[in-house]
C-alpha cells in the first residue's frame, strides 16, 4: 500500500548530523524510500552523541530524533567496491542528499556532472554551512556556530546577553528549505525529464527567516537587539507572572487591547496605553501593572478568563509536559516505533497530515548497516545487464 505522496521515490542519503538527516527524514515521512549510506564502523556522528543514551547498547537519543523511516547501508566510499555500489544506487535514485563540505563529493569521485552521467533524472540536494561559493564558502558550520554568525543570538535572550535557541533551529530551517527545493525540482522534472541541483545552507536559511528583524535594518537602518521574552514592536506581548507561574500573553492589535485591558483593571482608552507605540514606550510600567493584577489568580484561572475574552494566551510548558499534552498527541505528534534493540519507543512525530490519508506505520531509526545485505540483494535482483548490441527495434 502507498505510504504517502512520495511513494515510489527513492532517496539516497549521504548526509549526517542534523540538517541533511532531518531533510531525508521528512522525505521519508512523506512516503519516499530513504537509504542512508554510512561509513562502516562509525556511521553518522550523532550515533555517538550523548548523554542521554538509551538501553544497554547506549543508543543515542540524538540520532533517534532525525532518522526514522530509513534503511541503513554501510559503504566505504573511498574503496572501489563502495564507489561501485553507490553508483548502482544512484542509477536507481530519484534524489540524492549530501551535506559534505564544498568539494568533498568531488574528491570522492562523484561531482554533479558524474552523478548526472549516471542518472540524468537525479535531483541532488546539497546543504552546506556558509554556502557553496563566496569568500567563506569553505568554512564548516554547525548549528550553534551559525546561530551566532547569522544573527539569531544577537536578538535572543535577555537584553545584553546573546543567547542560543535551545533547538537546532538553523539545521531544521535548512532541512525544511532543502525539502521544499527537492519537491519543486521533482515537479520540474515532470516537465523537463531532467534532474537538477538544489542548494541551500544554514546561513541562507537563517537569514531567510529574519523577517521583520531583517527589514528593521535593511529598510529602517535600526539594528535589532535582544529584548528577552518581549516583542520588540508590540506590547503587551510576552511572558507575565501570575500567582503560581508564568503565562504568555499576546495582545497584538487594538481590538485585543480593548478586550484585555479591563481584565487587568486598565482603561483601554488611557492615553498612556491607548496605542501600540504608547504601550511599547511604557513597557516596564505596563508590565508591572499587568503582573500586579495577575498575581490575584492562578495560571489556570487566567487562561480561562483570557480564553473567554478571546485574548491569545498560553502556558510555558516544559518538554515533558508538551509530550504528555493531549493536544500534542491528538495531532499525531507522538508516534510509537518498534526498535530492534530498545523495543517499543515513542518519538516526535511528523508535522504534516493529509486529509483522507490513513496514519502511516513508522519504522525505527535503523541500526548501523542494518539493511546492508537486503539492499545489496535488492540491487542484484533488480539489475539487468544491457545487451552488447541493440536489437532491430532499437536500430
pLDDT tens-digit map of 294-349: 999 999 999 999 999 999 999 999 999 999 999 999 999 999 999 999 999 999 99
- CATH dotted code for 237-316: 3.30.1540.10
pLDDT tens-digit map of 114-128: 999 999 999 999 999
Q: Residue 145: pLDDT band by 50, 70, 90 thresholds?
A: very high
Instruction: Tell me if the bond preceding 94 is cis, omega within 30° of 0.
Output: no
Q: Residue 394: pLDDT band by 50, 70, 90 thresholds?
A: very low
The pLDDT of residue 387 is 47
The pLDDT of residue 57 is 87
What b/e sequence results for 153-192 when a residue is b if at least 16 CB atoms lie within 10 Å of its CB, and e otherwise? bbbbbeeeebeeeeebbbbbbbbbbbbebbbebbeebeee
* Position 393 pLDDT exceeds 70: no
What pTM value is reported for the model?
A: 0.90
H/E element, 141: none
Across the chain, mean pLDDT equals 94
The pLDDT of residue 201 is 97
Distance CA 189, CA 29 (A): 21
Distance CA 239, CA 302 (A): 13
3-state SS, one letter per residue, for 185-212: HHHHHHHHCCCCEEEEEHHHHHHCCCCH
pLDDT tens-digit map of 155-208: 999 999 999 999 999 999 999 999 999 999 999 999 999 999 999 999 999 999
Of 48-57, 143-152, 260-269, 382-391, minimum mean pLDDT range: 382-391
Q: Are residues 365 and 64 in contact, defined by beta-carbon separation less than 8 angstroms?
A: yes
Mean pLDDT of 228-238: 91
CATH H superfamily, domain 10-210+325-382: Crotonobetainyl-coa:carnitine coa-transferase; domain 1 (3.40.50.10540)
Q: Residue 3: pLDDT band by 50, 70, 90 thresholds?
A: confident
The pLDDT of residue 392 is 45
- Identify which of 292, 240, 238 has the alpha carbon closest to the alpha carbon of residue 264: 292
- DSSP E strand stretches across the chain: 10-13, 33-38, 53-54, 59-60, 70-74, 95-98, 123-128, 197-201, 237-242, 245-250, 313-315, 334-339, 343-348
pLDDT tens-digit map of 73-117: 999 999 999 999 999 999 999 999 999 988 899 999 999 999 999
53-54 vs 59-60, strand pairing mode? antiparallel
> CB-based burial of residue 373 (10 Å sphere; 0-12 exposed, 13-18 middle, 19+ buried)?
exposed
* Position 388 pLDDT exceeds 60: no
Helix axes 169-192, 19-29, angle to 10 degrees: 50
Domain range annotation of the chain = 10-210+325-382, 237-316
Residues designated as active site: 171
* Position 2 pLDDT exceeds 80: no
Distance CA 34, CA 103 (A): 24
pLDDT tens-digit map of 241-279: 999 999 999 999 999 999 999 999 999 999 999 999 999
The pLDDT of residue 1 is 52
pLDDT tens-digit map of 35-54: 999 999 999 999 999 999 99
Distance CA 241, CA 50 (A): 34
Distance CA 144, CA 205 (A): 14
Amino acid at each position: 500500500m502507498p505510504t504517502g505522496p512520495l511513494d515510489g521515490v527513492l532517496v539516497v542519503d549521504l548526509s549526517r548530523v542534523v540538517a541533511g538527516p532531518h531533510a531525508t527524514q521528512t522525505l521519508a515521512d512523506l512516503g519516499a524510500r530513504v537509504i542512508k549510506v554510512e561509513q562502516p564502523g562509525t556511521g553518522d556522528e550523532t550515533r555517538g552523541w550523548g548523554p542521554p543514551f538509551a538501553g544497554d547498547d547506549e543508543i543515542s537519543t540524538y540520532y533517534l530524533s532525525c532518522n526514522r523511516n530509513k534503511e541503513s547501508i554501510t559503504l566505504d566510499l573511498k574503496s572501489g567496491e563502495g564507489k561501485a555500489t553507490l553508483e548502482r544506487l544512484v542509477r536507481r535514485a530519484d534524489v540524492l542528499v549530501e551535506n559534505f563540505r564544498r568539494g568533498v563529493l568531488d574528491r570522492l569521485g562523484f561531482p554533479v556532472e558524474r552523478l548526472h552521467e549516471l542518472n540524468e533524472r537525479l535531483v541532488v540536494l546539497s546543504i552546506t554551512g556558509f554556502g557553496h561559493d563566496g569568500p567563506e564558502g569553505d568554512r564548516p558550520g554547525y548549528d550553534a556556530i551559525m546561530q551566532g554568525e547569522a544573527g539569531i543570538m544577537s536578538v535572543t535572550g535577555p537584553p545584553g546577553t546573546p543567547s542560543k535557541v535551545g533547538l537546532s533551529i538553523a539545521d531544521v530551517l535548512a532541512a525544511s528549505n532543502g525539502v521544499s527545493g527537492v519537491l519543486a525540482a521533482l515537479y520540474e522534472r515532470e516537465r523537463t525529464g531532467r534532474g537538477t541541483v538544489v542548494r541551500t545552507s544554514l546561513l541562507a536559511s537563517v537569514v531567510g527567516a529574519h523577517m521583520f528583524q531583517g527589514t528593521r535594518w535593511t529598510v529602517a537602518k535600526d539594528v535589532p537587539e535582544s529584548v528577552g521574552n518581549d516583542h520588540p514592536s508590540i506590547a503587551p506581548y510576552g511572558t507575565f507572572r501570575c500567582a503560581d507561574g508564568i503565562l504568555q500573553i499576546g495582545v497584538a492589535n487594538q481590538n485585543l487591547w480593548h478586550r484585555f485591558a479591563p481584565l487587568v483593571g486598565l482603561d483601554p482608552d488611557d492615553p498612556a496605553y491607548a496605542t501600540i507605540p504608547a504601550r511599547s514606550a511604557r513597557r516596564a510600567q505596563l508590565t508591572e501593572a499587568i503582573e500586579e493584577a495577575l498575581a490575584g489568580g492562578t495560571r489556570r484561572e487566567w487562561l480561562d478568563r483570557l480564553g473567554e475574552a478571546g485574548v491569545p494566551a498560553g502556558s510555558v510548558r516544559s518538554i515533558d509536559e508538551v509530550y504528555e499534552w493531549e493536544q500534542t498527541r491528538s495531532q499525531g505528534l507522538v508516534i510509537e516505533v518498534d526498535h530492534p534493540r530498545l523495543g517499543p519507543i515513542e518519538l516526535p512525530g511528523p508535522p504534516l497530515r493529509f486529509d483522507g490519508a490513513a496514519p502511516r506505520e513508522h519504522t525505527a531509526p535503523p541500526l548501523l548497516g542494518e539493511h546492508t545485505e537486503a539492499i545489496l540483494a535488492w540491487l542484484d535482483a533488480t539489475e539487468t545487464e544491457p545487451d552488447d548490441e541493440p536489437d532491430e527495434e532499437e536500430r
